[in-house]
Chain A
Amino acid sequence: MKLNNKILLSNVILTLVVFSFTSIGIYYLVNSTVYDELDNHLLQHKVDLIDQVQEDTSSLEMMNQLGTLGSYEWIEITKYDGSTPLNSNEFSTIDTLRNPAEELETNAYRQLTTTISVNDRYYTLKIYEEVAAWTHISRTILISILAGLAIWILLLYILNQLVLDRILTPFYNTVASLEKIADPSDLDESFPETTTYEINVLNRALNTMMQHIRSSFEDQKQFIQNASHELLTPLSIIRQKAEKILSIPELLDRSTIESVGQIQHTAVRLSRLSNALLLISRIENKQFELGERVDIPKVTEAVLEELDDFIRMKNLNITTSFAAPVVVKGNSELLHAAVYNIIQNAIKFSPEGATITISTRRDTEKPCFSVLDEGPGFPPEFIDAAFDRFKKPPPDAAGFNNNSPGLGLSIVQSICQMHHFDCRASNHPEKGAEVSIHF
């Protein structure tokens, strides 16, 4: 989850929690205020009634008969029966019918039960007041407060988002440029200064680090390139001198010839290694044009032609199925080298008379080129490192020749990375290894 969303979400959750507690509080507050008001009202009626009765004692009977004091209230006056204590005010809320003959549903009423004395005689006085009208008012108050709060939360969310986005923009810029970096040499401009202290610290630290990485990366690439280059002339001398000795073998004994042969062979291997490193560093230095349109099936045909000798000598069957036309944009020489390395590997590890299946297909819209052999497959502990430079399988692995420097597949990988293709190595469930490029 993105940082700004996380902050917003936690903000919203916090506000909602506060909001619900506040709502409950407000509900109780409004309710108790309403009942207090009702009770005051009822007491006021009682005082009015007592005042009136003291003026004219005979009015008590008339009042009882009339019953109502207003449209929302009514009273009942009965002889005191001792069920309530004298001179006390008891409040309660009851559901009752005011007029059983006319009404169907009960309503909530606030009831004041008290006693009055008229001419030294005690009466029980019950005053009722309808609650419904008051609940209406309290509900309206509650709803308007809640609506206000909800609008406030919404506004807070929107404003927070705007403000957060604004504040976090430099941070996101930094994250975005970091995401884009596949290679230290990709990033040319440095991270900018901002007005936020923490982001400045972060950006400065990143700038310093990137600078270090970039320069050591450049040094390393330059070193590989120079070293490989400078090695070739002395290797050339060693090779030619060794060949010169070998060209007149009559003067030498057999062990000398063998030793010189090994010197020459090693010089050749060294120069291959040096060339392979040079190629990888040139790929990583992006010294190749990538604009050509390359027809992979055609390249494959050309490679098969080149390697035909080996295929025939080993009696291999080559099954090609180019189900999907794969024309990609890239460097034809490099893609040729990649296909060549993959197929050469497959031939090398195939037993006599085996089948190599070469196919192009579309895996979920992305075209893919795959070579499957019937050899021993990759040793399981090696498969994840198959593309790593100088990685070799353990010496006892079947069919592997430990004299090869282990650069073939890493050249394939460098080429694929440069083209933003994906190369994979896997073992077929039954037997053999599969190497594929996903374009």
Chain B
Amino acid sequence: MRALIVEDEPLLIEDLEQCLLEEQFYVDSASRLQKATDLIAAEEYDLILLDLGLPDGDGTNLLKLVKKHHPDTAVIIITARGETEDKVRGLELGSDDYLAKPFPIAELRARIHAVLRRKFKINDNKVSGGPLSVNLDHMEVTIRDESIDVTETEYKMLRYLLLNKNKTITRIALAEHIWGNRIDDRFSLDFITSHMKNIRKKLSQAGADNLIETVYGVGYKLVPDETE
């Protein structure tokens, strides 16, 4: 699949590019609106990450252009303008999702998965890692095909960790994923810790110990034993 990154900050392009490469995309990038316009005229992309505030113009013009010529292309807006009207306008113009800077790469990965699944009507909506398998569309978690009972928050945490398996997910990123960025962080981090305790208990009861590692002082990492 092909992806285009439209972003004027080279240091950010680096990380976005790496994330997309890991997700098996061929990646182009443009730091100017003009270059991006040229690129989409020549190429049909499956995914565009679009920063709205570009030095040579407003990214929404590019969005209109993409939606006109390539309606199948998925567009995720990434912008420092975290304002709701901008968000609503972006979604109205046909973008598929909207991420306000700064965001964790893990969140981008989860969003890309969701957008592509929706866009390309992928029916295989299960992701698995080792004995654990999570349905991406509804609350369904299984360990070696045995269903386990989880709360909504626990389901969201497991899904997020699994989509970003083998990557350290910070507790802040988890809290933001579940409750949005309005929640007071110091306050919500304790809750992440206690939810994680419950998840571990449930996984261990189902016979899947040590699936989630704690990265001390930082967060968690789901490390599936792929031999299972």
Contacts and interface: CB of A to CB of B under 8 A. Distances in A.
Interface string B83-122: 1100000000000000001111110000000000000000
A268 interface: yes
A390 to B, nearest CB: 16
A320 interface: no
A230 B101 CA distance: 11
A239 interface: yes
Nearest first, the 3 closest Cβ-Cβ pairs linking A and B are A236-B102, A232-B80, A236-B101
A243 B104 contact: yes
A408 B187 CA distance: 13
A254 B216 contact: yes
A335 to B, nearest CB: 13
Contacts of A344: 183-184, 187
A233 B9 contact: yes
Interface string A247-272: 11100001001101100110111011
Given A236-B80, A236-B101, A309-B153, A246 B218 contact: yes
Given A233-B9, A257-B217, A261-B218, A313 B173 contact: no
12 contacts: A229-B80, A232-B80, A232-B102, A235-B101, A236-B80, A240-B105, A243-B170, A249-B221, A257-B218, A261-B170, A261-B218, A309-B179
Nearest to A240: B15
Contact of B186 (A264, A267, A275, A404): A404
Interface in A295-351: 306, 309-310, 313, 333, 337, 340, 344, 348
Contacts of B181: 272, 275
Contacts, number: 115
Interface string B160-192: 000000011010110010110111111110010
Interface residues of B, number: 42
A265 B221 CA distance: 17
A408 to B, nearest CB: 8
A313 B191 contact: yes
Nearest to A229: B80
B9 to A, nearest CB: 6
A306 B179 contact: yes
B186 A236 contact: no
A241 B218 contact: no
Contacts of B105: 240, 243-244, 247
Interface of A: 229-230, 232-233, 235-241, 243-244, 246-249, 254, 257-258, 260-261, 264-265, 267-269, 271-272, 275, 278, 282, 306, 309-310, 313, 333, 337, 340, 344, 348, 401, 403-404, 408
Nearest to B51: A233
Given A237-B11, A237-B12, A239-B104, 4 more contacts: A258-B216, A268-B185, A278-B82, A404-B184
A246 B168 contact: yes
A240 B194 contact: no
A15 B202 CA distance: 94
Nearest to B103: A236
Given A247-B167, A249-B218, A232 B82 contact: yes
B43 to A, nearest CB: 26
A194 to B, nearest CB: 44
A258 B191 contact: no
A337 B80 contact: no
Nearest to A282: B83
Nearest to B153: A309
A229 B81 contact: yes
Q: Which of A243, A264, A271, A309 has the most chain B CB atoms closer than 10 A to its own CB?
A: A243
B131 interface: no
Contacts of B81: 229
A205 to B, nearest CB: 39
B198 to A, nearest CB: 10
B130 interface: no
Nearest to A331: B84
Contacts of B83: 282
Given A240-B102, A313-B194, A258 B80 contact: no
Contacts of B183: 344
A249 B215 contact: yes
A233 B80 contact: yes
Contacts of A261: 170, 217-219
Contacts of A248: 168
A170 B4 CA distance: 65
Given A244-B15, A246-B168, A403 B80 contact: no
A275 to B, nearest CB: 6
Contacts of B11: 237, 241
Contacts of A267: 102
B168 A233 contact: no
Nearest to B15: A240
A268 B9 CA distance: 19
Interface in B189-228: 191, 194-195, 215-219, 221
B170 A264 contact: yes
A268 B218 contact: no
B113 to A, nearest CB: 17
A240 B12 contact: yes
Nearest to A336: B182
